[in-house]
Amino acid sequence: MTDAMRILCPACDAENRVPADKPAEKAKCGKCHQRLFTGAPIELNAERFYRHIQQGDLPLLADFWASWCGPCKMMAPIFVQAARSLEPGVRLAKVSTEQEQALAAHFNISAIPTMVLFKKGAEVARIEGAMDLQRLLAWVKQHI
């Protein structure tokens, strides 16, 4: 039997099992038939966030940000480029600290932007502040 990864759909959050020997970047959701990888970060509220870090097998890189934050605005297009580079090995997500204050408090987000990398439901690394694409990619690859 082939090992399969549990990958949550970015559109409907349904759990999908993708065989390890199949190209994940072309996989579609069994429920809503949308692509499992779009080359863009997904926006997560608290409920969706916990579902993705606890039930999916992919590492998840969360960008905790705010709409009024200048460095966050500078970081946004870099985070999109990172999604294109890191998928399908890593899921990238954005979490608004304005809309998800309790979630930001739970993870002790004291500066923004803050990138937090999760694997198997646990935080494995975090970094604060805006950075260029090469630095972000190197940091993620160092921790996955």
* Per-domain boundaries in the chain: 39-143
pLDDT digits (tens, 9 = 90+) for 4-43: 899 999 999 999 999 888 888 889 999 999 999 999 999 9
Predicted local distance difference test score (pLDDT) of residue 75:
96
Spell out a b/e string for 89-102, using b for 16 or more CB atoms within 10 Å of the CB, else e.
ebbbbbbbbeebee
- Helix %, strand %, coil % for the chain, to 5? 35, 25, 40
The confidence score (pLDDT) of residue 10 equals 96
Rounded distance, CA 55 to CA 128, Å? 26
**At which residue do the structure tokens 């190197």 appear?**
138
Q: 39-143: which CATH topology? A: Glutaredoxin (3.40.30)
Find the helix or strand (DSSP H, E) in which 70 lies.
helix 70-86
Single pTM value for the model: 0.94
Tell me the pLDDT tens digit for each residue of 67-116: 999 999 999 999 999 999 999 999 999 999 999 999 999 999 999 999 99
For residues 115 and 130, give the distance between their C-alpha atoms in angstroms, rounded to a whole number. Answer: 9
What residues are labeled active site? Answer: 69, 72
CB contact set of 31 (below 8 Å; sequence gap of 6+): 9, 12, 14, 16
